[in-house]
Amino acid sequence: MSENSLQDLDMVTCTAPVNIAVIKYWGKRDEDLILPVNASLSVTLHQDHLKTTTTIACSRSFHKDCIWLNGKEQDISHPRLQSCLQEIRRLAYRRQNTGDPASDVNSVYNKVHICSVNNFPTAAGLASSAAGYACLVYTLSQLFNVEGELSGVARQGSGSACRSLYGGFVQWKLGEQSDGKDSIAEQVASELYWPELRVLILVVSAEQKSVGSTSGMHTSVETSQLLKYRADAVVPGRMEKMIRAILLRDFTTFGELTMKDSNQFHAICLDTYPPIFYLNNISHQIISLVHRYNQYYGETRVAYTFDAGPNAVIYSLHDHLPEFVEVVRHFFPPEVDKEEFFKGLPVCPVDLSEEMIRDINMKPTPNGIRYIISTKAGPGPCVVEDPKLHLLGADGLPKKSAV
């Protein structure tokens, strides 16, 4: 297929962010529609540091739908991928039938080529599926000129993907309708609302997790008594308190709720039968370090949360971040140079007091943390305007740089 043969090629590239839940989503009440057993709330991370980039092209010359993820062709027949594709095509077809001049009458019938890359570890508990499906749905909507509420479509690919369609602080509403129409994401506050909030991702392992979130959730719903109690008795109150803490920029409450909810999520994993172990020894040491650091100051200065993996996400305020970065360096001394170990937003170096090191009283674990990503809250998906940044070439196939 020559590069000049696809005269009717339409192509769009977009990026979408990772989100990290502070009130966790774990468990579905409807597996097919991906409806959660409880509401959840997350912080959207800045795309300068963690994002998915997706290019989608459509052409009459394409014989079938295809998808490449991080350079490897994947099975396009996956039910969740098909749900997103079919729903966007249905919405595009409906819009075309209204006679909207902004829609392309033919494009909805064309096959698509999809190429997607992450700039962070995939399937390692860093919400890669959330960013990936949010980016897929948003890019398809741009290609087919679909407007309106998209979080319900993204939810059908990956539940938490609905939250990655908005920037800042985002809640995923539980919803009451059986068809899931009201189980959608909604922005609580923009990424600019709390500018002092900072995020550190401590990458303990980039390995793919041994138990995927989908199967883990299913087993938890089937076997964990704690899961039902949490959904019914704990999360509704926590959601109210968390939203209030964000709107008041109350870090103490925000941090304590975040840590308690992370702990309860992993308690459910242990209450699942057979139990699920997402945290490892380094994860436990990070938890201990955070609590010892906060106890040293007599206040909550940093907070941890762990998704379905061993990697820690740390929330703090701008003024407290430099010291805690040095604390992490001291107790998890890296074996790589400074640039490889610390990435993202810069922080100023500070000296640690001997008193603090003595009071924390932990034995250093060399190379326990592979690297740190420093970031903050960021915006939702966006269109990449520069055609040079397309991941697909003029022939509709992945460029070598995307492989």
- Residue range 366-392, pLDDT digits in tens: 999 999 999 999 999 999 999 999 999
Tokens 């392309």 belong to: 104
Peptide bond between residue 379 and the one before it cis (omega within 30 degrees of 0): no
pTM (predicted TM-score): 0.93
DSSP code at position 208: P
Residues 39-96 have pLDDT tens digits of: 999 999 999 999 999 999 999 999 999 999 998 999 999 999 999 999 999 999 888 7
Q: What is the pLDDT of residue 403?
A: 58
Nearest-angstrom CA–CA distance, 187 and 165: 9
Q: What does the pLDDT look like over 314-361, one tens digit per residue?
A: 999 999 999 999 999 999 999 877 778 999 999 999 999 999 999 999
For 85-132, write each residue's pLDDT tens digit: 999 999 998 887 766 655 554 577 799 999 999 987 654 456 689 999
pLDDT for residue 390: 97
Structure tokens at 394: 């003029």
Say which residue, 35 or 100, is predicted with more confidence: 35
What rounded mean pLDDT belongs to the chain? Answer: 93
Residue 148: count of CB within 10 angstroms of its CB: 9
How much is the pLDDT for 123?
A: 47
Q: Which amino acid is at 139?
A: T
Pair 304, 328: CB distance under 8 Å: no
Mean pLDDT of 292-309: 97
Element (H, E) at 185: strand 185-189
DSSP state of 232: I
In order of their start, the domains of the chain are: 10-191+381-402 (3.30.230.10), 197-375 (3.30.70.890)
Q: How large is the average pLDDT for residues 168-178?
A: 97
Q: How far is CA 269 from the centre of its chain?
A: 20
Residue 344 backbone zone (phi > 0: left; psi -120 to 50: alpha; other: beta): left
Residues facing 344 on adjacent strands: 374
Residue 32 near residue 183, CB atoms below 8 Å: no
Percent of the chain clearing pLDDT 70 (strictly above) = 94
pLDDT number for residue 340:
86
Contact at 8 Å (CB) between 28 and 60? no
Q: What is the pLDDT of residue 99?
A: 61
Least confident of 5-19, 183-197, 255-269: 5-19
**pLDDT at site 339:** 76
pLDDT of 400 above 90: no
Q: Where are the alpha helices (DSSP H) in 30-189?
A: 79-97, 128-143, 151-155
CA distance 23 to 232: 14
Does the pLDDT at position 18 exceed 70?
yes
pLDDT of residue 126: 65
Beta-carbon neighbour count of residue 169 at 10 Å?
26
What does the pLDDT read at residue 2? 43
Task: State the average pLDDT over residues 15-36.
Answer: 97
Q: How far is CA 358 from the centre of its chain?
A: 36
The pLDDT assigned to 336 comes to: 77
